[in-house]
Amino acid sequence: MTRHGPTRRTLRLAFLALAAVVLAAVGGAVWLVADAGLLRDAAGAPAVPALVVLALAFAALTGLWACWGVLASHFADLERLRAGVLVASVSRDGRLPPPRDRAAGPDEVARLREAVETLVLRRLFPSAGPDERLTAVLATLDEAILVVTEQGQVSLVNAAARALLGDEPVRVGSSVFAALERDDLLDAMAHAHAEPGGAVDATLPGVDGRRWPARICELTGHGGYVVRLTATPVGGPRLRVVAEDGAVHHDLSLHDALPEAAADDATPLFDLPALVFDCESTGLDVRADRIVSMGGVRVHGTRIFHIANIDRLVNPGVPIPPRSSAIHGITDELARDAPPFPEVWPALEPLLRGAVLVGHNIGFDLALLRRECSLAGLTPPAPPTLDTLLLAGLLFPDMTDLSLEALAERLGVDIHGRHTALGDALVTAELYVRLLPLLDSAGIATLAEARAFTGRATALRARQRAMGW
């Protein structure tokens, strides 16, 4: 996988050399003993049967083979630990991916892993600072507080808001419109923006039918709004706010502006603008099937910009087969009121402009995208692409299962919302940014080098071409 450290080939050559030395030593010893006449008795008959000599030689080789197995396993664990440290360098929590064998007892590799993880965590998260103390203050409030981006992504939520609206609907990074009605909240945000003080009082309907008295304040200069809800819904009793924990969850980097996208072959991977993309479809035939949903998120280098995303249902204009609905959950009824592809394309095209298209089996998604554009009379896109399946297959030759689930477990990525277009895109984005330091360690630094690298995955590419993309 890498250009650093002992490889399996080096280890195998060392083992063969050691085996040759041992056999030569055993042969030399036998020859010396035989030359001294110690292997024959007084009558000249063999004193040590040949089978005994062979058994000793076999035992020596078996011992060497066992040593080879132990050494190979240790070097594999050390290589996995080295890769894990590189992955931790770009992960948000600084934690290493899980070890190969979670059930194994402590040994020198496990102890080294523990020490490295402790060092990484202490360096990246040294102590509770002002931000953590502010979080502790917010956790004491019984008023529900949400901070959302201009697009409605949740960037901060306190325990009271999670207790009132549910953990999943207001999870950081998710759309607040899963908890509060879109049109009413957008209208209140527009009024707050227009007010001199940047704040308005409103009643916000929830998707569950309850109505919440609220105050909406513009987050001036940071592209977002603070939404404060009382614990007393309109026409109902005051609710007792109880949450499983009092933590404030947040990722205020969601408000950061997206850098300009301009990629060419010489662009370093750590500066590469990319759109990580996935779509769900009516089937797997790229020549006949249609898109039913699209999801994507922009990435710049190792940074995921959750604020720049797309998550849209698409009316395919044809019936959705039950076997496909069983996988992604999108039925004819759900897609009936969704816009057709030509009406969704204007929301996707700006995210794709100037960026590399990244995905797991991205050739499939691009083929569907190009076909939809052709059917709509639009110019089919032809962006450069990077396939995370091909990259992972080359970086982890020991893995036979290259599914998103298997790679997520290998690299320590939490899975949310699998088999939804945006859910798959977000998981793929997390995998992609974790692959970048491993590519760099392997001497692959630019887009051109990464695309040439994926060309080596001949078996995987042949399988993809056989499927039509």
Residues assigned a catalytic role: 419
User: Which amino acid type is present at position 65?
Assistant: W
385-387 vs 356-359, strand pairing mode: parallel
Please state, in angstroms and rounded to a whole number, the distance separating the CA atoms of residues 412 and 81: 13
Q: Which two tokens stand for residue 462?
A: 């042949």
439 contacts 453 by C-beta, under 8 angstroms? yes
Residue with tokens 């064998």: 101
- What DSSP assignment string belongs to 216-265? EEEETTTTEEEEEE-SS-TTSPPPP---S--PPEE-GGGGSPPPPP---T
Question: Taking Cα atoms as reference points, which of 305, 269, 284 lies closest to residue 391?
Answer: 269
- The span from the CA of 5 to the CA of 17, in Å, is 19
Yes or no: say if 145 and 138 are a contact pair by the CB < 8 Å rule. Answer: yes
> Is-contact 275 298, C-beta < 8 A?
yes
Interior angle at CA 336, CA 333 and CA 338, nearest 5: 125
Cα–Cα distance between 366 and 279 in angstroms, integer?
Answer: 9
Question: How far apart, in whole angstroms, are the C-alpha atoms of residue 12 and residue 79?
Answer: 16
Strand positions, DSSP E, 249-371: 249-250, 273-281, 291-300, 303-313, 356-359
Number of CB atoms found within 10 A of residue 22's CB:
15
**8-state DSSP, 79:** H
Long-range contacts of 343-350, Cβ-Cβ distance < 8 Å, separation of 24 or more? 344/294, 344/312, 344/314, 345/372, 345/373, 345/376, 345/378, 347/310, 347/312, 348/294, 348/296, 348/310, 348/312, 349/381
C-alpha count within 13 angstroms, C-beta hemisphere, residue 170: 26
Here the tokens at position 97 are 């991916």
Backbone angles phi, psi at 451, to 5 degrees: -70, -40
